[in-house]
Structure 1
Amino acid sequence: MRGTRTLRNVHERIVQAPAETVGALVDRLATPDDALFPTPVWPGMVLDRPLAVGADGGHGRIRYRVTAYEPGRSVRFDTTGDGLGAGWHRFDVEPLGPGRCRISHVLEVTLSAGRFAFFKLAIEPVHDTMVEEIFDNAERAVLGSLPHPPARRPRRALLVNRLLWVRPTGVPVPADARLLHAAFERPDFTDAWRIPLAPGMPRDPRAWRHLLPFTERGAEGDELMLGEDASHLDFRASVLVDDDSVTLATAVRLHSPYGRLYFAVASRVHPYLARRSLRRAHRRVAFAVRPAGERNARAAAQDS
């Protein structure tokens, strides 16, 4: 087709483990104990059903469908929608003798000239980093540790990661934020912002202790409360963690005309600062999580 280009991107790695063991990891793609996809730093693979021909899903903004699957050996995904272009990508595990195999990933997609340039500039560094981290996770899961330094994360990939990081959305103050509700009988201001948790991210609210630089005021169950008191206002922030998300909710009690004047100005920048703090903490926590290959190594050993 005029004005289009076909891109082919190939990665492969020799793993010192039986093909059956590495292939078992491929079979667990998009499951809760997926040891391959490098979540939560990068988007995880999500499918609408267990891995099988016809399963729909994707990762991030890239959408695809399983079109071929040989358990323990290979799986192919054909793109759907316009998130990338017309094409496919696949994982293959090839035996190379006892205790040794090759895992490979091939992407082939047809793109317009403009999308081809955009892919080379912004998407390819992320794609290459993700695939190499997938291979790292395969080795972590089957060998217990990496026999070499981990894959490097280029600055361009990290920049794209930062720009596309999930953003908080505004929600009502959760009813489960009991400490916050009990803090002030009649707060003068409240708001709440929520961001989803990716696989592997901690559900302990104390892991989010440094979200805001305020004094800890208490913890109960899934909630941690921070806050400060001043002559003009009292401020409380609740960090509430559930199975799917972390919510930052705030409440303010004003004491004086100066406090009301001060907060009339501060309230205009508060939503931006709250969203920014939650998003930065979310990304920082994600980067501190152990790699998927380590978190799910036990499951891999049971399959070997």
Structure 2
Amino acid sequence: MKVTNVHTRRIHQPKEKVSKLFKTLATTNDLIWPYENWPAIKFLEGLNVGSKGGHGSIRYTIIEFNEDDYIKFQFSRPEGFMGTHEFKIEALNENQTEIRHEINIQTTFETSLLWIFVIRWLHDALIEDAFNKVENYFTEAKKKATYNFWVKLLREIYKRKPLQTKIA
């Protein structure tokens, strides 16, 4: 199955300010990833092309990186996820920036079911939390996600059976 999943958010800040936040991804001072509520994103060799890492049981390798514009990852796990995902930062004008996360994968039958019933729901909630974190960095009024029943149920199941967090 071909899967394309896109999230965008308009941030009312210049691209230079938003790019500074993205440089903290997977660091001890991560201002992007919602590690407060989700498994942290980690890379063996930092934010560099070729560095392997991931979050929870999802694994990938950085295949392209321009610290001011985008970072692109190639999936390695789960098996059956063949493709990429990426974060992009684009100036819309002097004071507005669009942040974007896009998945483009081909899945096997088994991983199609995993995507449809589990991963997509958790992924969408995680990315919206990350985008809230970026937006909240710049605003007084803080956005907070409310999860639907299915996301709450899946999160509860994974609390009882923790996701793999070792990077290999």
Give the structure-1-normalised TM-score.
Answer: 0.51
| 2:88 matched residue in structure 1 | 92
Q: Which residue, 152, 157, 172 being the options, matches 2:151?
A: 157
Q: Which residue, 49, 60, 63 being the options, matches 1:64?
A: 60
Displacement of 1:150 = 2.6
Greater fraction helix: 1
Kept after mapping to 2: 8 A contact 1:54/1:67? yes
Deviation digits for residues 136-164 of structure 1 (CA, Å, limit 9, x no counterpart):
00011123443xx4332111112111111
Displacement of 1:117 = 2.2
For residue 15 of structure 1, what is the amino acid of its counterpart?
I
Q: Is 1:126 paired with 2:101? A: no
Deviation digits for residues 35-85 of structure 1 (CA, Å, limit 9, x no counterpart):
111123111101112211111100000000100001121000111143561
What is the rounded CA distance, in whole Å, between the counterparts of 2:20 and 2:48 in structure 1?
A: 14
Q: Which ranges in structure 2 are unaligned for 5 or more consecutive residues?
A: none
Paired residues, number: 163
CA 1:24 to 1:122, structure 2 compared with 1: closer, same or farther past 3 Å? Answer: same
Secondary structure of the equivalent of 2:134? helix
Q: Is 1:104 paired with 2:100? A: yes
Secondary structure of the equivalent of 2:93? coil
Kept after mapping to 2: 8 A contact 1:63/1:83? no
Give the structure-2-normalised TM-score.
Answer: 0.89
RMSD of aligned Cα (Å): 1.9
Q: Which residue, 55, 59, 83 being the options, matches 2:51?
A: 55
Kept after mapping to 2: 8 A contact 1:67/1:78? yes
CA 1:44 to 1:84, structure 2 compared with 1: closer, same or farther past 3 Å? Answer: farther
Kept after mapping to 2: 8 A contact 1:122/1:160? yes
Q: Which ranges in structure 1 are unaligned for 5 or more consecutive residues?
A: 169-195, 197-304
Bigger relative CO (Cα 8 Å, ≥ 6 apart): 2
CA 1:83 to 1:154, structure 2 compared with 1: closer, same or farther past 3 Å? Answer: farther
| 1:191 matched residue in structure 2 | none
CA 1:167 to 1:118, structure 2 compared with 1: closer, same or farther past 3 Å? Answer: closer
Deviation digits for residues 144-193 of structure 1 (CA, Å, limit 9, x no counterpart):
443xx43321111121111112669xxxxxxxxxxxxxxxxxxxxxxxxx
What is the rounded CA distance, in whole Å, between the counterparts of 2:41 and 2:16 in structure 1?
A: 22
- The 5-angstrom pairing of residues 1-304 of structure 1 reads 5-83=1-79, 85-146=81-142, 149-165=143-159
Secondary structure of the equivalent of 1:125? helix
Deviation digits for residues 80-121 of structure 1 (CA, Å, limit 9, x no counterpart):
143561111100010011111100000111111232122111
Deviation digits for residues 263-295 of structure 1 (CA, Å, limit 9, x no counterpart):
xxxxxxxxxxxxxxxxxxxxxxxxxxxxxxxxx
For residue 24 of structure 1, what is the amino acid of its counterpart?
K
Secondary structure of the equivalent of 2:137? helix
CA 1:166 to 1:75, structure 2 compared with 1: closer, same or farther past 3 Å? Answer: farther
